[in-house]
Amino acid sequence: MASELEQQKQTSRANKQAGFTLIELIIVVVILGLLAASALPRFINIAPDAEDASIEGVAGGLVSAVGIVRGQWELDGRPSGTNATTGAGAVVVMDLVEVNVDGNRGYPVSGNGNPAAHDENMTADDCRTLFGAILQGAPTAASDFSEVERVRFYVTAENNGTNDICVYYQASTVKGLTAAPSGDDYLTVGNNFVYNPRTGSVNVNLNRN
């Protein structure tokens, strides 16, 4: 008799431990709901943060590449190019790739073999090609705004009042525009970074709306 009572108690305990009560399940669901409500906004905002981090990373890579090119120019004895006044026509070779540099300062100005390029005579195509020539695994880039949907960067050449500069717009932040950004739009439009071939500086502008 005592044995049967003991078995019944054990069975009763096993039944009680077999699962969650309805109250416990409701509490778990409420807790999960609260966690989801607090975490969801973070996941929703992760794409813009990723865009910002991406362009900062590419800009940082360009800074390093520009420094390496200028270092090679120094090692080559500072070639002045075919025009000692403007610095046009100077070339250095990086990993078997010829890069046009400004012969007066040693910073890259073109990657397409343009002997006329210097820091006061650059085209958007010069900016685009130097990007691909000096940056290992450079993201896709175009100097034609009609191609902005299929590339990572839209590239323009502008003038800052002293010399020409290269502007690299993150394509995903400007592709909705009705007209191509130009002039000093880089100060207010889209995520971009600006390369100044006179100083070798690269500045990031985060203007994503």
Task: Dump pLDDT digits (tens) for 114-136.
Answer: 999 999 999 999 999 999 999 98
Is 3 part of a structural domain of the chain?
Answer: no
Is 101 part of a structural domain of the chain?
Answer: yes
What count of other Cβ atoms lies within 10 Å of the Cβ of residue 53?
10
CA 8 from chain centre, in angstroms, equals: 69
Q: How confident is the model at residue 162 (pLDDT cuts 50, 70, 90)?
A: very high
Residue 108's DSSP bridge partners are 101
pLDDT digits (tens, 9 = 90+) for 75-106: 999 999 999 899 999 999 998 899 999 999 99
pLDDT digits (tens, 9 = 90+) for 28-80: 777 777 776 666 666 666 667 778 888 999 999 999 999 999 999 999 999 99
Is 4 part of a structural domain of the chain?
Answer: no
Q: How confident is the model at residue 18 (pLDDT cuts 50, 70, 90)?
A: low
Q: Mean pLDDT across the stretch 153-158?
A: 97
Contact 120, 139 (CB under 8 A): no
**pLDDT at position 17, please?**
55
Is 26 part of a structural domain of the chain?
Answer: no
**pLDDT at position 14, please?**
52
What count of other Cβ atoms lies within 10 Å of the Cβ of residue 208?
16
**pLDDT at position 31, please?**
78
Q: Decide: helix, strand or coil at residue 119.
A: coil
**Number of independent structural domains in the chain:** 1
Is 111 part of a structural domain of the chain?
Answer: yes
Q: Where are the beta strands (DSSP E) in 12-66?
A: none
CB under 8 A, 24+ apart: contacts of 107-110 = 107/66, 107/69, 107/70, 107/197, 107/198, 107/199, 107/200, 108/66, 108/69, 108/70, 108/133, 108/134, 108/197, 109/197
* pLDDT of residue 9 exceeding 60: no
**pLDDT at position 204, please?**
96
Is 53 part of a structural domain of the chain?
Answer: yes
Whether pTM exceeds 0.85: no
Is 82 part of a structural domain of the chain?
Answer: yes
Q: Which domain holds residue 160?
A: 47-205
**Alpha-carbon gap, residue 167 to 173, rounded angstroms:** 14
**Alpha-carbon gap, residue 104 to 121, rounded angstroms:** 13
Q: How confident is the model at residue 6 (pLDDT cuts 50, 70, 90)?
A: low
**For residue 185, what are its two tokens?**
């739009």
Q: Decide: helix, strand or coil at residue 106.
A: coil
Is 151 part of a structural domain of the chain?
Answer: yes
Residue among 200, 181, 197 at smallest CA distance from 208: 181
**Alpha-carbon gap, residue 105 to 88, rounded angstroms:** 11
Q: Where are the beta strands (DSSP E) in the chain?
A: 90-94, 97-101, 108-110, 141-142, 153-159, 164-170, 192-196, 201-205
Q: Please name the amino acid found at residue 151.
A: V
Q: Please name the amino acid found at residue 123.
A: T
* pLDDT of residue 155 exceeding 90: yes
